Amino acid sequence: MVIILFELALTFYFAATIVGVLELFKSSKATTRLLMILAVIGFALHTANIVLRFFIGGHLPITNMHEASSFFSWCIVLLFFYIEYRYKVGLLGSFVMPVVFLFMLSSSILPRGIKPLSPLLQSSWFAVHTLLAFLGDAAFAMAAGIGLMYLLQEHFVKKKHLGSLFQRLPSLQSLDEINYRLISIGFPLLTLAIVTGSIWAETALGSYWRWDPKETWSLITWFIYVFVLHARLRAGWRGKKAAYLSIIGFLAVLFTFFGVNLILKGYHSYLQ
Amino acid sequence: MRLLVTGLNHKTAPIEIREKVAFDGPKLEEGLKGLLKGQEIEGAVILSTCNRVELYLQTTNIEGAKRYVVDFLSEFHKVKLPELEKSLYMFFDEEAVRHVFRVASSLDSMVVGEPQILGQVKDAFEFALQRKYTSVLLNKLFKKAISVAKRIRTETRIAENAVSISYAAVELAKKIFTDLSEKTFMLLGAGEMAELAVRHLINNGVKDVAVANRTYERGVELANQFCGRAVKFEQFKEELVYTDIIICSTGAPTYILYKNEMQSIMKKRKHKPVFIIDISVPRNIDPEINRIDNVYLYDVDDLQSVVDTNILERKKEAEKAERIVDEEVEKFMKWMESLDAVPTIVALRNFAERIKNAELERLMNRIGEIDERQRRLIETTINAVVNKILHPPTIALKDDREDRDVLIATIKILYGLGEEKNEHNN
């Protein structure tokens, strides 16, 4: 059942991705609605899958790479709905759904077993710390997607290529504002994730900070976003610069998320 | 044959003639009244805009109506007949339907896809409808024309994309900024195209308007027109720190704003985006400025090429629209032709009914005493015979076939139905 739900969610996300890519070339109210319906169904199935895993395993299902990838895409879809509802950004789905699908796909090829929580992770901090980190990372992922849309639209306006994609993309100001908004959602979440993580480390391992690779890279990521926010507020680094920075920031997030687990070993590694 | 459209438009008549035959103000109702006085005219709608004057008529006799309408127009507007006839076009039935559909859908407009015409068609129709100058057929025609126009609006992109420089500037501003009402605007200089663009910007929400003109008094005058404020021309660079959208149209022979100046302005405004439209020729703004981050500079050629691509795009969409019109005209004509058959069917039925009633009465007089049940049985039987005999010709008349008019004529001759037509036309 768990597997069927996952596969079905994957299928619906895939369909939404196809519609999203097609929308880049030609879109109408009907295609936009279709994409939304597919995404909502996929999300419902996905939610059921996660809830089921939660009840079977008795803990938040983010204890191996399969679960982590899957949960991460779940967070992105959740945020996608929020942004879509709040700002009605044209074509956002075309940029978000492929990312969601890729995370789900990578999740689908990783081992899926539900294992009991290792003693190290058995703490109420576990849920709080990971949830904050995942939501923060999802916000950064969205910010990068919006940043990409900004760069595309900026290119069109600057180079005076005013084709049909230009017509359908939102205004530069909207994209820039949403980008800023997402980073200012993601940043406190990341900060809290680091704080709760270190408190947890103190109670479980006896010290706040141990320079575990994940910790180090989280800190690097954190500094990048400090810089993004500071540059915007103090020096007016908005628009193109902000868009590039949000993409760089997300690359750091990705490395913290995948790279650290796959290349560098530490107690954050899920792969045993 | 029952529909007649006649009139003139920007393609067939110069403005001097269009002015003369315009039905403006009280002339509109007088015109309708005058048209309906014609014996052959059963209903009329008049459309009078600055680009076209058209009369839409339902008539029983096209030839008669043609003559009447031309004479009427010439007399009503006091235009000489030959002068008028030179610019008039006429369409009947199918071509008339097509013309109405094309006009309402803005396919016949000077700027294809312009949105005003549909409203003007609606108004013209409503005006005639409320004062009862239209006919059932005209009502159906105009309702259909409006729905065809809407269908074309939604199914093609004919009305999308700006096709004038000033609109193109506004569309661009909307892709840079989300809400124009929060943005500050400055007009540098003056000029017809620039002022038109300012009006479009104001219509799209821009509130904070400043005008800087070399002649301060002229600036004040313009500022008053736009409910804005005048700025001394020497101070415009300081003002740019607080300005988001600039339209520049001065007669200066050289650049009045250079890259390094703009760079320091951008620093002062914390790199908030600026949209500059330079429609002066020769250009007044150093084109290098477009290289600065968050500055978007468009000159008149840039805007013109946007407009050109959009016009090309519209032409492609217009072809799609024409196909929709063809399809709808065909449907409408089928419906109209089926109307031709209705009076004949009714007449045929009445003819049979009369014979049946007369014969039944005669029979009842001769047959003597019968009870109610028997009487009803006889009646039912005769009814069934009549209906069964009438069924095949009724079906044939209702059927959508090419030789329907021949069929109608034949049946009329065979049963001597000709004179009954008028009775059922109403």
User: Do residue A160 and residue B293 have CB atoms under 8 angstroms apart?
Assistant: no
Residue numbers in B near A240 (CB within 8 A): 293-294
Residue B178 shares a structural domain with residue B104: no
B267 pLDDT more than 70: yes
What pLDDT does A123 receive? 75
Q: Are residues B91 and B195 in the same domain?
A: no
In this predicted model, what pLDDT tens digit does every residue of A68-96 receive, in sequence order? 889 999 999 999 999 988 888 878 889 99
Same domain? For B75 and B143 the reply is: yes
A87, A160, A164: best to mutate for the B interface, most B CBs within 10 A: A160
pLDDT at B345 over 50: yes
Q: What pLDDT does residue B273 have? A: 93
Distance from CA of A164 to the nearest CA of B (A): 10
pLDDT at A251: 92
Closest chain B residue to A166, measured at CA? B175
CATH at B131: 3.30.460.30
- Over residues B216-223, the mean pLDDT reads 90
Convert chain B into a string of H (helix), E (strand) and C (coil). Answer: CCEEEEEEECCCCCHHHHHHHCCCCCHHHHHHHHHHHCCCEEEEEEEECCCEEEEEEEECCHHHHHHHHHHHHHHHHCCCHHHHHHHCEEEEHHHHHHHHHHHHCCCCCCCCCCCHHHHHHHHHHHHHHHCCCCCHHHHHHHHHHHHHHHHHHHHCCCCCCCCCHHHHHHHHHHHHCCCHHHCEEEEEECCHHHHHHHHHHHHCCCCEEEEEECCHHHHHHHHHHCCCEEEEHHHHHHHHCCCCEEEEECCCCCCCECHHHHHHHHHHCCCCCEEEEECCCCCCECHHHHHCCCEEEEEHHHHHHHHHHHHHHHHHHHHHHHHHHHHHHHHHHHHHHHHHHHHHHHHHHHHHHHHHHHHHHHHHHHHCCCCHHHHHHHHHHHHHHHHHHHHHHHHHHHCCCCCHHHHHHHHHHHHCCHHHHHHHHC
Q: Which of A243-247, B103-107, B331-335 has the lowest mean pLDDT?
A: B331-335
Predicted TM-score (pTM) above 0.95: no
Q: Is the pLDDT of residue B66 over 50?
A: yes
Tens digits of residue pLDDT in A113-132: 777 777 767 777 888 888 89
Position B340 scores a pLDDT of 74
Euclidean distance between the first and final Cα of chain B, in Å? 16
Smallest CA–CA distance from A177 into chain B, residue: B178
Report CB contact under 8 Å: B178, A173: yes
Q: Would you say residue B34 lies in a domain? A: yes
Residue A173: which of B161, B176, B306 has the nearest Cβ? B176
Question: Count of CB atoms within 10 A of residue B280's CB?
Answer: 23
Our answer to whether residue B248 is catalytic in this structure is: no
Q: Is the Cβ pair A171, B174 closer than 8 Å?
A: yes
The predicted pLDDT at position B315 comes to 87
pLDDT band at B426 (very low <50, low <70, confident <90, very high): very low
Number of domains in chain B: 3
> Among B256, B242, B139, B135, which Cα is nearest to B186's?
B242
Query: Of B303, B331, B353, which residue constitutes the final position of a domain?
Result: B303
Q: Domain check: are B176 and B244 in the same one? A: yes
| ipTM of the complex model | 0.84
Asked if the structure places residue B79 within a domain, the reply is yes
Residue (of B339, B345, B346) closest to B394 by Cα position: B345
What's the confidence (pLDDT) of residue B346? 86
Contact call for A157 and B296, based on CB within 8 A: yes
CB contact under 8 A, A239 and B271: yes
Instruction: For residue B8, list its beta bridge partners.
Output: B53
> Is B309 within a domain?
no
Contact B178 A160 (CB under 8 A): no
Length of chain A: 272
Is residue B322 scored above 90 in pLDDT?
Answer: yes
Based on the domain organization, do B226 and B351 belong to the same domain?
Answer: no
Residue in chain A nearest B293 by alpha carbon: A240
Query: Which of A162, A170, A239 is opposite residue B273, by nearest beta carbon?
Result: A239
Last residue of a domain, one of B136, B160, B184: B160
B317, part of any domain = no
Whether residues B145 and B96 fall in one domain: yes
Looking at A44-48, A164-168, A253-257, B416-420, which range is the least confident one?
Answer: B416-420
Based on the domain organization, do B217 and B144 belong to the same domain? no
Q: Which of A26, A27, A91, A158 to mutate to test the interface with B (most CBs of B within 10 A)?
A: A158
Contact across the interface for B175 and A172, Cβ inside 8 Å? yes
pLDDT at B420: 45
- B182 and B115 assigned to the same domain: no
Contacts of A88 in chain B (CB under 8 A): none
CB contact under 8 A, B172 and A240: no
What pLDDT sits at residue B328?
94
Classify residue B255 by burial, with Cβ atoms within 10 Å: 0-12, 13-18, 19+. Answer: middle
pLDDT at residue B91 is higher than 50: yes
- Considering the domain architecture, whether residues B370 and B412 belong to the same structural domain is answered as yes
B293 CB neighbours in chain A (<8 A) are 239-241
Please name the member of B272, B296, B309 whose beta carbon is closest to the beta carbon of A158.
B296
The verdict on a CB contact (< 8 Å) between A177 and B178 is yes
Going by pLDDT thresholds of 50, 70 and 90, the confidence category of residue A269 is low
What is the C-alpha separation between B252 and B188, in angstroms, rounded? Answer: 11
pLDDT tens track for B167-207: 888 989 999 999 899 999 999 988 888 888 888 899 888 98
In this structure, what DSSP letter does residue A116 have? Answer: P
Looking at residue A267, its pLDDT comes to 62
Summarised one tens digit per residue, pLDDT across range A38-47 is 999 999 999 9
Answer whether residue B326 is part of any domain: no
Contacts of B269 in chain A (CB under 8 A): 236
Strand order in the sheet with B295-299: B229-232, B208-213, B184-189, B245-249, B274-278, B295-299
Pairwise CB contact (< 8 Å): B177 & A153: no
CATH number at residue B295: 3.40.50.720
Q: Does B154 map to a domain? A: yes
Given B178, B269, B294, which is nearest A174 (Cβ)?
B178
Which structure tokens are listed for B238?
A: 């300081």
Asked if A157 has any chain B CB less than 8 Å from its own CB, the reply is yes
* B208: in domain: yes
Is residue A244 less than 8 Å (CB to CB) from chain B?
A: no
Catalytic, out of B22, B27, B29, B50: B50
Residue A12, pLDDT > 90, answer yes
Cβ distance B175 to A241 less than 8 Å, yes or no, reads: no
Mean pLDDT of A215-226: 91
**End-of-domain residue from the set B273, B303, B333:** B303
Q: Distances in Å between the alpha carbon of A11 and those of A64, A70, B20, B104, B401?
A: 22, 13, 68, 46, 51
pLDDT at A271: 42
Is B334 inside a domain boundary? no
Contacts of A241 in chain B (CB under 8 A): 293
Residue B172, CA distances (Å) to A178, B167, B242, B302 in order:
20, 9, 20, 11
Residue in B closest to A234 by C-alpha: B270
Question: Are residues B133 and B249 both part of a single domain?
Answer: no
pLDDT at residue B404 greater than cutoff 80: no
| Residue B34 structural domain | 3-160
Same domain assignment for residues B31 and B142:
yes
**Banded pLDDT at A265 (limits 50, 70, 90):** low
What is the predicted pLDDT for the residue at B1? 54
Cis omega (within 30 of 0) for bond into B343: no
More confident residue, A109 or A13: A13
Chain A to chain B Cβ contacts (< 8 Å): 54
Give residue B212's pLDDT: 93
- Per-residue confidence band for A266, with pLDDT thresholds at 50, 70 and 90: low
Judged by a CB distance cut-off of 8 A, whether residue A160 touches chain B is yes
Identify the contact set of chain B against chain A, taking CB-CB distances under 8 A: 160-161, 172, 174-179, 267, 269-273, 290, 293-294, 296, 298, 302, 305-306, 309
- Chain A CB contacts of B172 below 8 Å: 157, 162
What local confidence, expressed as pLDDT, does residue A130 receive? 87
How much is the pLDDT for B352?
A: 92
B177: number of CA atoms within 13 Å, CB side?
Answer: 24
B421 pLDDT higher than 70: no
Clarify whether residues B156 and B181 are in a common domain. Answer: no
Q: What is the pLDDT of residue B422?
A: 43
User: Which residues on chain B are in Cβ contact (under 8 Å) with A177?
Assistant: 178
For A173, which of B269, B273, B309 is closest by C-beta distance? B273
Q: What percent of chain B has pLDDT over 90?
A: 43
